[in-house]
Structure 1
């Protein structure tokens, strides 16, 4: 596809260059042709305030349709970039390359060229924003993707492009991260596999384990070979080599590494190349939504991986399992970025109103002494006497009280919480419910992120500001008092959601779409015009 596009680029650029020499007057001329060109630019640009502002500042001069080598290089770079939009999983038809080339070829007057000039700027702006910060608006796809996308000023694209090397400018637009590069490489690999028919027949079985034999084992063997987990073999028994291959597959897909192909592992093994390709394209779009500096040290919570990590200079220096919000729409963990400022040791739990009225009020209406681990307070913060309150007269809307659980080992937040104050009331914290960390899928909370190793997480954070981080933490903990410990250097926190993600070696791993968000993103990308290359029909 790329070679075919490249072969036609010189033709389009050459045609418009010849036309320009015949249509436009020589440089510096102020004839009627120049006036007609600038009037056409002004009229066409008036439909877009950013484009109009740019051309007003430049005196309606051409940046694309001039006769110099500089303009010719800009045209070539734009056409080349638009032709390669599919490589980035972008909706290539949105940029109208075919129509743009046709306008170039059929331009016959200075006015025609003025209209082509603005059409090129319009296509350029659409492409530049899409490839730098995404083709979709995340919150329109899913209300729980509340990320603030780092959009750039649209006019600045034109201003900076006019001052830059055309090829260099386009090359710098996509995310300059190892993650994005790894995803692009995987996209090409998967497109090749799609064109060749994928990974072959699916495995038809309910469960397979070491020692098994038969057609299902052979199908499993062949699929693992095509996926690159098993060397070529004629074995028809679920042997040690196949067991090791299954364990590697499970590790790459966030599954329990037991070497047994149960229902969960089988579902992942039978997932098609096409589905994996969709996940990669969605991950590329997601990477564009966070196309900014993440922080030399930052915290990354990948919801689909059920992990929280501390990353220093691009390397994971600490990792722990996490429990995320339940699948219920009201309890799902949102996606956003913020900055962690402090931790609270021996925290109180201030019960969110949604939980107080939705879960605890009905219990209090049945029994005023229910949930007696909670202190109920009035608007002034004074503890009320439950015996003097008729809870049955209140509704979720009229309930006038607040609830708080004081510090203790049984506190819902455990013994420490990590705060990055935000309007979603989301934070990381300890939990007394340690049993949940042993499960493969860990979506059980009300939205906050529970950590399996909160003390060690605290030590890792405090190590940057204390010679004895563990001692500092434990000394504070031993007081039993609620204590805020500030981070001298706040740490960015990024709560992300990736079903396709690169490991430390750049290999792509896959996770399940626990909230169904990636499915909705793919649907939106598809509606916008993104198509899978290599897929027929």
Structure 2
């Protein structure tokens, strides 16, 4: 930003009023506003942009400290003080204590108070502002303002910058410095500072559910680990096996913990120390888990308990005690705490893009949800990329619809599927209704291609599949605008939507009931109702239709989310992304 304004702190000094005026207007600074050693310790006069004069020793010291230190023009603290004429902001003790409380309770958001100098903040709050010499007043001002700025940044946008973790990250960037400075002022002017700080966290049901679960599992973690269940062959209802006793003990231990937490919920104990069990936790019907004469029998009571557990863990609710269910049973409360912290961070990254109308593509929940006017307008199952061909997390929008689309085979599928397929079976292209075209669009005879050489060195042509209901894209394509050839589309394999685990595609997102989504996005009942759309599809002709408006599409990855009943649900980490994020989140403080 300094370069854009034509400034070099090493050579020039900028008066605060002129600097702020330039920032607000996005215009170059006037020459008279910049001059070597132009006396930053002098008092500011009223400027043309309405900034009040800053009189007194402290404003001068603050101005000097901020403009002559390593703080840059982009620093929200500098802009905050520029906007208030360098008047002190932390003269009231209740403001200090409000900030200290906000830092102290950061763990409720899965964040770490160790990122902030909590003990130093507490020490500084012991002294009244008026009792400190000017230099100490400045130190305290900068300490508390910098703490508040970083605290708001973490609550609103996360502790980590996702752009440093993911090369393809393109969700909305955090607020610009002037907006951050304005938010600092807004929070400081609030009657209750801690409440104003807490209000900066995402205002989303999922965020609150994750917070409640975090509190719950932290308490469970203090009580030790669950009984472990050994691996082995899949066990089904009515089976008898020594491992069944371990499953019973594991779920009975969770039952006891849930009951203890519920009985010690706030309002039912003197301390209010223990949180209530999450709203989706059900202990009814589990009371007889331990009351059995044959602990190794997979009886109906245990079957229902396992089904409920599978629902909470985002697994196929089939009562089969296979590898996935056993692995989930062996996840400790401490591991769930780490998982919840990771997903709170992910949600902070994208929360601002979940405001207003949007389409949420829940990659791990295998669900697409269209939100219009603050309400869930439509929902459908989806199929996403398999672990070897991951669907990326992206912010995008539907550009247009294509009816009866042709499919240009992406490079990865061409290299890994089509070329090897032709080598194995010369009729592969005919079977899949595919044609080869050159750069000009002219057809190329497949018999004139050395397919074994193409397997080693690549194919210098495009492969296009004809349109049709049996084509890979089905009858409708929802075109997006990303550089990864990722889009939404119909499918020629609707039976896949009946599977519980649907990470099965080559990267694009297959949508159940695409006709319904198309009608909603076209938003033109007179011209494009369900019947008109079906008639256009029945012609078999490829046709491109503009959408009524470009609604944001969020392809979001998270290993915890809400199910269709609004209950918190853990999900398998299908792309194995949690651990790297957990390590980064627990890493060096910023």
Q: TM-score range by the shorter chain?
A: 0.7 to 0.9
CA contact (8 A) 2:401 2:476 kept: yes
CA distance in 1, matches of 2:150, 2:312: 36
**Out of 277, 281, 286, which is 1:231 matched to?**
286
Unaligned runs of 5+ in 1: 1-27, 531-537
Question: CA-to-partner distance for each residue in 1:132-175, whole Å, 9 max, x for gaps?
Answer: 0111122433445x242440123432333324313453132110
Give the match's secondary structure for 1:309: strand
CA distance in 2, matches of 1:440, 1:123: 45
Matches within 5 A, 1:135-534: 135-143=159-167, 146-163=169-186, 164-165=189-190, 166-167=193-194, 169-198=196-225, 200-204=226-230, 206=232, 207-213=234-240, 215-225=242-252, 226-227=254-255, 228-229=282-283, 230-233=285-288, 234-235=291-292, 236=295, 237-292=297-352, 294=354, 296-313=356-373, 315-328=375-388, 331-357=389-415, 359-361=417-419, 371-372=429-430, 373-388=433-448, 399-459=459-519, 461=521, 465=525, 469-503=529-563, 506-528=566-588
CA contact (8 A) 1:40 1:115 kept: no
- Cα distance change on mapping 1:83 and 1:341 into 2, 3 Å: same
CA distance in 2, matches of 1:277, 1:317: 32
CA distance in 2, matches of 1:123, 1:362: 58
CA distance in 1, matches of 2:421, 2:227: 53
CA contact (8 A) 2:522 2:546 kept: no
Unaligned runs of 5+ in 2: 1-52, 256-281
CA contact (8 A) 2:364 2:571 kept: yes
- Cα distance change on mapping 1:343 and 1:103 into 2, 3 Å: same
- Cα distance change on mapping 1:392 and 1:55 into 2, 3 Å: same
Matches within 5 A, 1:15-30: none
Q: Where does residue 52 of structure 1 map in the other structure?
A: 78
CA contact (8 A) 1:37 1:113 kept: no
Q: Which has the higher contact order (CA 8 A, sep 6+)?
A: 1
Q: Where does residue 3 of structure 1 map in the other structure?
A: none
TM-score normalized with structure 2 length: 0.75
Give the match's secondary structure for 1:338: strand
CA contact (8 A) 2:316 2:501 kept: no
2:149 matches 1:125: yes
Task: Report the CA distance between 1:311 and its aligned residue.
Answer: 3.5
Give the match's secondary structure for 1:501: strand
TM-score normalized with structure 1 length: 0.82
2:108 matches 1:87: yes
CA contact (8 A) 1:42 1:60 kept: no
CA RMSD of aligned residues (A): 3.2
2:156 matches 1:96: no
CA contact (8 A) 2:160 2:585 kept: yes
Task: Report the CA distance between 1:360 and its aligned residue.
Answer: 3.6
2:87 matches 1:61: yes
CA distance in 2, matches of 1:218, 1:298: 47
2:139 matches 1:115: yes
Give the match's secondary structure for 1:238: coil
CA contact (8 A) 1:191 1:277 kept: yes
- Cα distance change on mapping 1:290 and 1:29 into 2, 3 Å: closer
Deviates more, 1:99-108 or 1:262-271: 99-108
Aligned length: 494
- Cα distance change on mapping 1:496 and 1:154 into 2, 3 Å: same
- Cα distance change on mapping 1:217 and 1:467 into 2, 3 Å: farther
Deviates more, 1:363-372 or 1:219-228: 363-372
CA contact (8 A) 2:405 2:473 kept: yes
CA distance in 2, matches of 1:211, 1:359: 43
